[in-house]
Amino acid sequence: MTEASSPPERPLALVVLAAGKGTRMKSDLHKVLHPIAGRPMLMHLLASADALDPARKVVVVGAGREQLAAALGDSAELAVQDPQLGTGHAVQQAESALAGFAGDVLILYGDVPFVRTETMRAMLERLHEPDNPAVVVLAFEPEDALQYGRVIAENGVVTKMVEHKDASAEERACRLCNSGLMAVRGEELFALLGRVGNDNAQGEYYLTDIVNVANSDRRVCAVVVTDDPDEVAGINSRAELAEAEGRWQKKRRLQAMADGASLVAPETVWFSWDTVLGRDVTVEQNVVFGPGVTVAVGVVIHAFCHIEGARLESGVSVGPFARLRPGAVLEEKARVGNFVEVKNAVLHAGAKANHLTYLGDADVGAGANIGAGTITCNYDGYFKYRTVIGERAFIGSNSALIAPVKIGADAIVAAGSAVSRDVADGELRLVRAEQLVKPGWADRFHDAMKRKKAERK
């Protein structure tokens, strides 16, 4: 028995195909930039592949290359495929970018975003097993083999790759399908591709034919079969996008619960790709996490909250029906209640805004109490201004704090005040009209009016 040798440390290049037209999305946005869990599908894929520490990343694009250039920045190189003459032709476009690259190449599809790192690694490991395959193909066995290309294999060795349109009835009966993903040595890839023709049902240069070319050289080509068809599911339409979102959310909810969060109705909670939840967090029904949310231990999020770009420290309570927008920071044991919106504002430890309030561009001191209906008037139609509220200050209900304004520590703002000038520490500020007191006036008014009405009948 030969001892399984670990693959030599070879540099890795990714070639991500994304030049297809994506017609079925019916979108001006490039297909691979459509988000799942708040992140473009391409970025999900690259994040999984990044765990393998690739030395090079080449994304093959056709239409919409400016969008991809903007999204990728300098995190990957772009190779342009125009016109699109098939998957093999697409990979060929990476040749000049990878000129002289000595290492392994993993070919991925930008619209197949949820391939696991372990699966990619298994493909690369298979490439370096003693039988020295020229190509490793990732295959799967779907319930319905549909139009997928077929992988004709025996004992893990591929004897033929055939597209559905070119396949015989016997070949179509084979259930092992090509995911499209492959691993090949960089030193061999482009020579193999150079020998691929387009004499087939679609008149395209098929990437799959590199297997047939290698076989004609009596080289072994191997297949790795994933037992999870979902990881190789392609996204071609909005419906498939929604299905992929649904599968992602389902997994994330299970993970959240496994990590010690209580989700009262898991199927109604929607996470983002980067949501961070501490232990003993409770999330009630119908809560949506946008990107950039961190939730510390022991936080309770009541039903129907929308939270994005926010940090919730331990023991915080939010909602029901609260909206936390980017830059919201709730420090330890702060409370935000129903119909409260917080944007770019910090509630320091133990501060409370329990009802019907807007806090924007504000700093709320520890232990301060923000009464129902308080509004920070942060915008004059041109610029935004800050409101700073001191520790333990008490803001009476229905107050308007007209920024820029400071409310001192321990100050009291009387209910219904419109405060436009700073309030000192310990001050009472009352900004409302003097009260007119007229005992008995209403009784006399009612009597007079009733009499008048009776006279008119």
C-beta of 179 vs 399, nearer to ligand UD1: 179
Residue selected from 12, 13, 14, 17 as contacting ligand UD1 according to rule CB under 6 A: 17
Among 13, 41, 207, 283, binds ligand UD1 (CB under 6 A): 207
Assess 369 for contact with ligand UD1 (CB under 6 A).
no
User: Binding residue for ligand UD1 (CB under 6 A) from 38, 54, 64, 110?
Assistant: 110
Member of 81, 272, 378, 417 binding ligand UD1 (CB under 6 A): 81
* DSSP assignment of 148-184: PPEEEEETTEEEEEE-GGG--HHHHT---EEEEEEEE
Show the beta-strand stretches assigned E in 309-393: 310-312, 317-318, 322-324, 328-330, 335-347, 352-364, 369-370, 375-377, 387-389
Q: Does 109 interact with ligand UD1 (rule: CB under 6 A)?
A: yes
Contact with ligand UD1 (CB under 6 A) among 64, 113, 180, 373: 180
- The one segment of 144-152, 233-241, 253-261, 392-400 that binds Ca ion by CB under 5 A: 233-241
Residue type, 237: S
Of all residues in this chain, which one has the CB nearest to Ca ion in the complex? 234
What is the Cα–Cα distance from 332 to 351, expressed in whole angstroms? Answer: 9
Q: Note whether 114 binds ligand UD1 by CB under 6 A.
A: no
- In which element (H, E) is residue 295 found? strand 294-295
**Contact range with Ca ion by CB under 5 A, out of 136-144, 227-235, 367-375, 379-387:** 227-235
Tell how many helices (H) and how many strands (E) occur in the chain: 9, 34
Q: Which residue among 234, 278, 326, 416 contacts ligand UD1 (CB under 6 A)?
A: 234
CB of 202 to ligand UD1, least distance (A): 7
Classify the phi-psi angles of 128: left when phi > 0, otherwise alpha if psi is within -120 to 50, otherwise beta: alpha
**Interacting residues of 116 by C-beta distance below 8 A, sequence separation 6+:** 48, 228, 231
Which among 189, 142, 182 has a CA at the least distance from the CA of 158? 182
The smaller minimum CB distance to Ca ion, of residues 110 and 365, is found at 110
Is 186 near ligand UD1 (CB under 6 A)?
no
Cis peptide before 404 (omega within 30 of 0): yes
Residues 6+ away with beta carbon under 8 Å from 454 = none
Number of residues that bind ligand UD1 (CB under 6 A): 26
- Kindly determine how many residues on this chain lie close enough to bind Ca ion according to the rule CB under 5 A: 1
- Which residue of 40, 78, 137, 163 would you call a contact of ligand UD1, by CB under 6 A? 163
Minimum gap (Å) between residue 230 Cβ and Ca ion: 15
Give the residue numbers annotated as catalytic, written as ranges.
Answer: 355
Q: Is the Cβ of residue 84 or residue 398 nearer to ligand UD1 in the bound state? A: 84
Q: Does 208 bind ligand UD1 (CB under 6 A)?
A: yes
CB of 45 to ligand UD1, least distance (A): 10
Residues in a beta bridge with 104? 12, 185
Provide the CA 180 distance to its chain's centre, in angstroms. 24
Which of 92, 119, 178, 317 is in the footprint of ligand UD1 by CB under 6 A? 178
Residue whose token pair is 């920071």 = 329
Give the residue, chosen from 30, 56, 89, 333, that forms a contact with ligand UD1 under the rule CB under 6 A.
89
Pick one of ligand UD1, Ca ion, none as the site partner of residue 419 (Cβ within 5 to 8 A by kind): none
List, in order, residues 6 or more apart from 380 with CB less than 8 Å away. Answer: none
Buried b (16+ CB within 10 A) or exposed e, 116-126: eeebbebbbeb
Specify the residue, 171 or 274, whose C-beta has the smaller distance to ligand UD1.
Answer: 171
Phi, psi of 386 (to 5 degrees): -100, 150
CB-based closest residue to ligand UD1: 149
By CB under 5 A, name the binding residues for Ca ion. Answer: 234
By CB under 6 A, name the binding residues for ligand UD1. Answer: 17-20, 60, 81, 84-87, 89-90, 109-111, 148-149, 163, 177-180, 206-208, 234
